[in-house]
Structure 1
Amino acid sequence: MGRGHMPTGRRERAKEAKRERIMTAARELFADHGVSGVTTQQIAHRADVAIGTLYLYASTKAELLIMVQNEKFAAAIDVGVAAANATDGQGVLEPVVALIRPVVECLREHVENGRTYLHELVFGDPAEPYRQAGLALAGRLEGGITGLLTRDEDIGATDAATLARVITAIIHISTTATVHLYRSDEAVLADIRDQIHATLAPHHRAGRLNPRFI
């Protein structure tokens, strides 16, 4: 082996170690100062890598934020799925709220970061790998809500998918709208719950209202 050539295994470990340092630096700086208060140079300095090296892992600050938030989003969905499954037998409203609670709390942990993250997922380049991963997580959340709604005998599979899309839109608006910025998580979640209740109610009218579902 020629001098200066690093074995593939060692090279991959070195790359992963740099990625972890960059992720840790971005996570800490975004948490402390918000995405608008941090520069890529500061992240590179904290991670002890050259700015050019940082750009090999993420070409913009927005991509760095998405990298960080994707991990939090995935963990929040895992917690929500477990919580929703633990409410089995309680209809659909409470399981759906249990599923989305940790997601809402995750997005509002640092409101600016959460708002920017959702904005980037919706309006950014969907072909960019980190956005693809984030959109896949959003799809997983929507799919989880769909699955819960199909427990309701009055909601068919097609309607469940449509309602899940509506509910995710409610979450998006409720966690990003400026009017909600200074409300508590509990107040925002209560408002979301009321909106979901109203969204599902038409499926239980005309004598079909079943209190175990709503």
Structure 2
Amino acid sequence: MTQTERPLGRRERNKAEKRARIRDAAARLFSRHGYEGTTMAQVARDADVAIGTVFQYAATKPELLMMVAAERWREVLDAVVTGLAGRDDPIEAILVLVEPVIKTAEAEPDLSMTTARELLFGAQGPHRTEVAEIVAAVEDAVAGLLRRSGAADRAQSAARLVVSGALLEINRSRTGRADAASVRERVRDLVEVAVRGATAEEGALRA
């Protein structure tokens, strides 16, 4: 057995178990009561830990939300990257990537919009950084699709536009500045503009 495969010690297992209980309790309460209707004290009671323990694992309520989001988004990313196999149309493939985020926003609008807002505009923290790294992995997947379609040097910039734009569109729905029912149409328009711009010839862009 290699060093990386060594089983966790008792202390590490206890910490991992507490972290999972806190994360799962927060996920349940956020889903049941919404972000604003959930308190750190409620999470502590539901997880059967002291409130100080909750703060050890998530120093603020936004960080607690990011802890929940990191777990969900990691699972989504793994499933979506698998689902991209064999898709040649970059627009359709990118829409496959963002569809789980849209579905989550439809199922839990308050929680999803708050997650998008905190990711875009929230304070730095370890769990927010973890979510940002997952988002960066999605950007890399989008950029890879664009490179295969001839985007070359503009692939990464277009990928950032697609991912941040999709999050902004979800946040616009939350604030009432856009119709939630049209989010897929708005995201498709954004993806089409980004893909066509990224794959256009330099001369065509200057013409």
Q: What per-residue deviation string (whole Å, max 9, x for no partner) do you get for residues 152-211 of structure 1?
A: 13x21x211111111112201211102377634xx42232112211333344589x9xxx
Match of 2:143 among 130, 142, 146: 146
Identity of aligned residues (%): 32
Distance 1:176 1:29 in 2: 21
Unaligned 5+ runs, structure 2: 1-7
Which stretch has the larger CA shift, 163-172 or 140-149? 163-172
Deviation at 1:108, TM superposition (A): 4.2
1:114 aligns with 2:109: no
Residue aligned with 2:9, SS: helix
Distance 2:69 2:177 in 1: 20
Deviation at 1:138, TM superposition (A): 1.2
Distance 1:81 1:53 in 2: 35
Cα pair distance change 1:125/1:105, threshold 3 Å: same
Q: What per-residue deviation string (whole Å, max 9, x for no partner) do you get for residues 113-165 of structure 1?
A: 22222222233333x21111111111111111100111113x21x21111111
Q: Which residue of structure 2 lines up, in the alignment, with residue 97 of structure 1?
A: 95
Q: Which residue of structure 1 lines up, in the alignment, with residue 37 of structure 2?
A: 37
* Aligned Cα root-mean-square deviation (Å): 2.2
Distance 1:138 1:42 in 2: 29
Distance 2:136 2:41 in 1: 33
Cα pair distance change 1:106/1:86, threshold 3 Å: farther
Q: What per-residue deviation string (whole Å, max 9, x for no partner) do you get for residues 1-32 of structure 1?
A: xxxxxxx9222222222111111110100011
- Paired residues, what number? 193
Unaligned 5+ runs, structure 1: 1-7, 209-214
Contact 1:79 1:102 in 2 (8 A): no
1:129 aligns with 2:94: no
Distance 1:149 1:24 in 2: 36
Match of 2:169 among 170, 174, 196: 174
Q: Which residue of structure 2 lines up, in the alignment, with residue 161 of structure 1?
A: 156
Q: Which has the larger Rg?
A: 1
Kindly indicate which of the two structures has a greater share of residues assigned to helix. 2
